[in-house]
A = this chain, B = another copy of it.
Amino acid sequence: MALTVVGSIAFDSVHTPFGERDRMLGGSAVHFALAASFFTEVRVVGPVGDDFGDEEIAVLTDHGFETADIGRAAGGGTFFWCGHDEHDLNVAHTDDTQLNVFAEFEPKLSDGSRDSEALFLGNIQPDLQRGVRAEADGARFVALDSMNLWIDTARDSLVAAIGEIDCLLLNDAELRMLTGEPNLIHAARSVLELGPSIVVAKRGEYGAALFTATDTFAIPALPLEEVRDPTGAGDSFAGGFLGYLDGEGAHDPSAEQLRRAMVMGSVMASFNVEDFGTERVRRLERPEIDARVGEFKALTHFEG
């Protein structure tokens, strides 16, 4: 099994109440791929600039990613994001975004990336997502993430992109914004009518909820002693979720597989926020994942 991800590969500068980092490795594709790499083979598609060095590439290849589709655009800079978090860590504030090489990005997939059974369209401009979706003709399970920016500025493209996928992942506030439905069940149903068979509402420190035509599942986030930087938590969630499904060969997943994938997404997001950027997931060992699945079980179990 293999999983292709398209999304940003970035340098992030982040300031939280617990510290700061300057130009650390980040981006939706990177966070996603690191999380997914514990479960399946990952192929990364995305542009970087001249300033993206061998050291950064090595982080990716060391985790076993296929990097043939990471294109280095001569004369350009890597996508750059700068933001900060307040004490409650629920809302990220963007201070600066520099598209750089992303402004001219035209994704081209190698045969390997086209043949992957699963595809994740990370949070980039929806027309780019559609282009990748069309190229990835081997994909049997396709998920998409987006954000308020595209709901505001490229709504029709985003709705068209959502019509071509199996699973939408969005923050719950964005689900409400996209559909105009304040009630989350009604919002999820509206999305199911657009095409996807699965909707995942991401809720930050409150966990996540899953909706299909026949099932509803919700999981709280694990309360953590140490939360230093939530950047990338949503992409780590998606990486655990899709990576698990692809690793299980679940491209038409059952309700039980989807529930277990929600747990894996929650587990990976919980590690992501414990340190800055990719730092925690980069030093993560597989037994820690299994132990944390047990912690989620202990957190949520009750005798009916």
Contacts and interface: CB of A to CB of B under 8 A. Distances in A.
A140 interface: no
B217 A182 contact: no
Contacts of A300: 217-219, 300, 302
Contacts of A263: 302
B302 A259 contact: yes
A223 B227 contact: no
A176 B88 contact: yes
Interface residues of A, number: 43
A216 interface: yes
A185 B88 contact: no
A185 B218 contact: no
A82 interface: no
Interface stretch (A19-27, A108-116, A149-157, A202-210): A202-210
B302 A216 contact: no
Interface string A191-231: 00000000000010111010100001111111111110000
Interface stretch (A37-45, A162-170, A291-299): A291-299
A87 interface: yes
Q: Could you say how many copies of this chain the assembly holds?
A: 2
Contact of A299 (B205, B216, B224, B303): B216
A304 interface: yes
A251 interface: no
A254 to B, nearest CB: 11
A61 interface: no
A183 B216 contact: no
A17 B181 CA distance: 12
Contacts of A1: none
A17 B304 CA distance: 35
A220 B218 contact: yes
A225 to B, nearest CB: 6
B206 A207 contact: yes
A284 interface: no
A291 to B, nearest CB: 12
A211 B223 CA distance: 10
Nearest 3 interchain pairs by C-beta: A218-B220, A206-B206, A297-B304
